[in-house]
Structure 1
């Protein structure tokens, strides 16, 4: 029998290899790993779904917002941290804002154009809103009292509070002898020297995780400090003793991984479900 040409033998060998690997890695391996996961880690393998009243209400691994139809916090619930995943906690759009600590200058909306908030102004606005919700000071370094980034653009002979659109009153009247102006939307301040102003803020009651999103945008946890900040409001709105709310926080606080990695955290969904139980 005549031997097949070498090029044809090579192609047939490649096809056999593809077929074998497809069966092993595309069929057998996924089926085995799925079967093992279902037997040993059934709850986790199926998404760690949380149920209440016989209905699926979320996942223990993915956060969610506790807001009304207008996006306002529901005052009877603990609030989650911000999320940059889609419209918030969207698993199909997991990710961060990708804004860093140098993102401090807003693009003010001018007629016919859209504005853009800097990361600093987002943090300032969130801190101000949380302070008002929880009845504490929302002030923090580098933030103006009206909740935007306290940043100047300095030019020869003038300075501009670049995140405060006119007719706002600038957060400082003068800087190093220069009068400070409000910013006019549409005007180009790129040539100015950027000067963030720290201000005299000694205590910051609103914790960092209350005003910044996680890297994935899906983190279901908040810090113990943020939970404790919200406890008086939740207790008051529900007519519960404050000690009872603090007990529930403690019961739904997870410790550090392996005893030393990370910080203790509170699962917001689990905590809110515990509050709803009779």
Structure 2
């Protein structure tokens, strides 16, 4: 019996050490040497202080900044741990809203967001079709750090007014921080919101 179990136990331990320890350590070390910034979390620094990650969105609310797309992530309610409360861009709880097209809560939230976006241009009639979808819809992860160039351009009048810049100056910043499709064919063009906002701060001295 022992002679039959020994090979199984030895193989199990060996595979555990190889695939569960040696391989992950080797790949982590290799990634750290070849792609040190990405392996460390694609952290973004300003004046030597880490202010975020290029991979995770943040909640920008000031008119002086471009805003990310909505996030549906949540966190435990401090008052009742059996419940949750909204916690946008909570990296510890990546998730979508799971609300369907017949959800009244989803409909009300989208209507509120549309009203907020239209209020950025008082006196202008903005059809719903002209508002980029990623400014009113959440993603599956709730952590998207990027928005579409169209979503960034929609916010130009508000940001330019708040910053005392011309709209052409702000559009130039967007163009400079727009990444095209990977290899020209994969994905869509995108703008990293944090990188764009940091560029705004650098240009205007906050």
What is the TM-score when the length of structure 1 is the normalising length? 0.65
Deviations 1:19-66 (A, max 9, x none): 211221122111210111011111111110000111001111111111
Equivalent position of 1:81 in the other structure: 69
Unaligned 5+ segments in structure 2 are 75-86
**Aligned ranges 1:44-193 → 2 under 5 Å:** 44-66=38-60, 73-86=61-74, 87-101=87-101, 103-104=102-103, 106=104, 117=105, 119-135=106-122, 136-137=124-125, 140=128
Which protein shows a greater Rg? 1
Higher helix share: 2
Q: Out of 15, 24, 27, which is 1:30 matched to?
A: 24
CA displacement at 1:134 relative to structure 2: 4.0
Residue 263 of structure 1: aligned partner: 188
- Whether the 8 Å CA contact 1:95–1:216 is kept in 2: the answer is yes
Moved over 6 A (4+): none
Quote the Cα distance in structure 2 between the aligned partners of 1:14 and 1:75.
Answer: 64
TM score, norm. by length of structure 2: 0.86
Equivalent pairs, count: 190
- Provide the alpha-carbon RMSD of the alignment: 1.6
Aligned to 1:208: 133
Q: Secondary structure at the match of 1:128?
A: helix
